[in-house]
């Protein structure tokens, strides 16, 4: 028997085509789509403004998947980590970060990651599989349900989460087609209506896909740079052996940045590896001419990896060099470290580590 179609995998245009293919009026797709993108929708019977015959036909051929958290952990700083067990047993995590009455959700795009960055626990667990669009969107809907349950009040569900960042497990651009479908679903005005300002996709630097992203959709781009020369970068990020720094920065230079948009460069500071004054000066030189912001991430140490975070004073000096060179540079301490929810600590299948 043919497997049923998961309607939550479908963009609006694919849903219309799908309904047409079943001989159903595609004019009803807008109503079905709106229900699918609403937290709490589990079943066709909830779609009260859609005719029964249409719902019966859909139920015969399709399903509505949803994610339910297998575990929810709350950090002392208010950060909440959700673990979702997927149908095949893969586990992915999402992290909700409250800040001044606003909420940012960090979502996963893959179970594990194949890119093997030396400093990252997700990289250490290896790659399991790509997430389907429904599993990416499902994280957002499930977290919204949680927020409603714990009493976060907003006029409409779409106001519950202000920003979405693809900085959880996995490399979003290595799951490109599903990422684009998920973004189209999340950004659709008939659904959750995330605007381009409110979505950031972070990549370790898969150059051809950065170019595709710029052509296909408007979202904010974050690039995990972490080193300003090829030798250091290749040592800690194997992807750099395929796409070197100059290639990566050329793709950043041609990434469309309308208006006041900038690229966010993420730079983990790891003691003795990439934190020297010369590294900062080289970085300032390399990024010249790219409208950008730099986030310095003090390395989140873990017991199983032999890297350390530099002293605070050292971090401030690094920041000062970049600021003096004219770059907007911020030090971003990770949230949720006590529940292993901080950057680079997401690793759910046994690779979990204790903080040192």
Q: Does residue 344 bind ligand SAH (CB under 6 A)?
A: yes
Q: How far apart are CA 32 and CA 16, in angstroms?
A: 10
Site string for ligand SAH, 112-131 (x = CB under 6 A): -------xx-----------
Q: How far is the CB of 301 from ligand SF4 (least distance, A)?
A: 15
Strand residue runs (E) in 206-251: 220-224
Q: Rule CB under 6 A: choose which of 11, 130, 200, 202 binds ligand SAH.
A: 202
Q: Does residue 171 bind ligand SF4 (CB under 6 A)?
A: yes
Q: Does residue 86 bind ligand SAH (CB under 6 A)?
A: no
Tell which positions 105-124 bind ligand SF4, by CB under 6 A: 113, 115-117, 120, 122-123
Close Cβ partners of 56 (under 8 Å, ≥ 6 residues apart): 44
64 burial type by CB count under 10 A (0-12 exposed, 13-18 middle, 19+ buried): buried
In this complex, which beta carbon is closest to ligand SF4, that of residue 116 or of residue 291? 116
| Active-site residue, 196 included | no
The active-site residue out of 193, 231, 343, 354 is 343
Q: How far apart are CA 121 and CA 119, in angstroms?
A: 7
| Active-site residue, 193 included | no
For residue 329, list its beta bridge partners. 294
By C-alpha distance, which of 263, 7, 173 is closest to 183? 173
Q: How far is the CB of 8 from ligand SAH (least distance, A)?
A: 23
Q: What are 234's two structure tokens?
A: 């290749």
Q: How far apart are CA 86 and CA 52, in angstroms?
A: 30
Q: Does residue 266 bind ligand SAH (CB under 6 A)?
A: yes
Q: 105 with 119: CB under 8 angstroms?
A: no
The active-site residue out of 17, 87, 93, 231 is 93
Task: Kindly list the catalytic residues.
Answer: 93, 343
> What residues line the site for ligand SAH (CB under 6 A)?
119-120, 167, 171, 202-204, 224, 266, 268, 297, 299-300, 343-344
């Amino acid at each position: 028997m043919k497997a049923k179609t998961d309607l939550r995998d479908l963009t609006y245009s694919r849903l219309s085509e799908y309904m047409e293919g079943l001989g159903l009026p595609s004019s009803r797709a807008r109503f079905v789509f709106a229900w699918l993108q609403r937290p709490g929708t589990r079943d066709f019977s909830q779609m009260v403004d859609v005719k029964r015959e249409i719902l019966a036909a859909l139920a015969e051929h399709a399903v509505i998947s949803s994610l339910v958290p297998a575990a929810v952990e709350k950090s002392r700083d208010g950060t909440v980590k959700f673990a979702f067990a997927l149908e095949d047993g893969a586990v992915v995590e999402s992290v909700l970060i409250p800040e001044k009455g606003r909420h940012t959700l960090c979502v996963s795009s893959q179970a594990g990651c194949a890119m093997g960055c030396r400093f990252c626990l997700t990289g250490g667990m290896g790659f399991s599989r790509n997430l389907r669009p429904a599993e990416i969107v499902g994280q957002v809907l499930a977290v919204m349900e949680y927020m409603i349950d714990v009493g976060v009040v907003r006029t409409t569900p779409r106001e519950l989460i202000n920003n979405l960042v693809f900085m959880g497990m996995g490399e979003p651009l290595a799951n490109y087609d599903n990422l684009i479908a998920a973004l189209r679903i999340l950004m659709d005005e008939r659904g959750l209506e995330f605007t381009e300002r409110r979505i950031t996709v972070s990549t370790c630097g898969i150059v051809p896909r950065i170019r595709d992203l710029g052509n296909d959709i408007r979202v904010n781009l974050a690039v995990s740079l972490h080193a300003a020369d090829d030798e250091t970068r290749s040592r800690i990020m194997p992807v750099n052996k395929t796409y070197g720094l100059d290639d990566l920065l050329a793709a950043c230079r041609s990434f469309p940045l309308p208006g006041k948009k900038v690229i966010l460069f993420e730079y983990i500071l790891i003691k003795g590896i990439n934190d020297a004054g010369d590294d900062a000066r080289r970085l300032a030189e390399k990024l010249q001419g790219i409208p950008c912001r730099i986030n310095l991430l003090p390395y989140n140490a873990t017991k199983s990896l032999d890297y350390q975070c530099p002293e605070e004073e050292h971090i401030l000096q690094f920041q000062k060099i970049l600021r003096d060179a004219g770059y907007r540079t911020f030090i971003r301490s990770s949230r949720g470290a006590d529940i292993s929810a901080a950057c680079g600590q997401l690793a759910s299948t046994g690779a979990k580590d204790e903080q040192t």
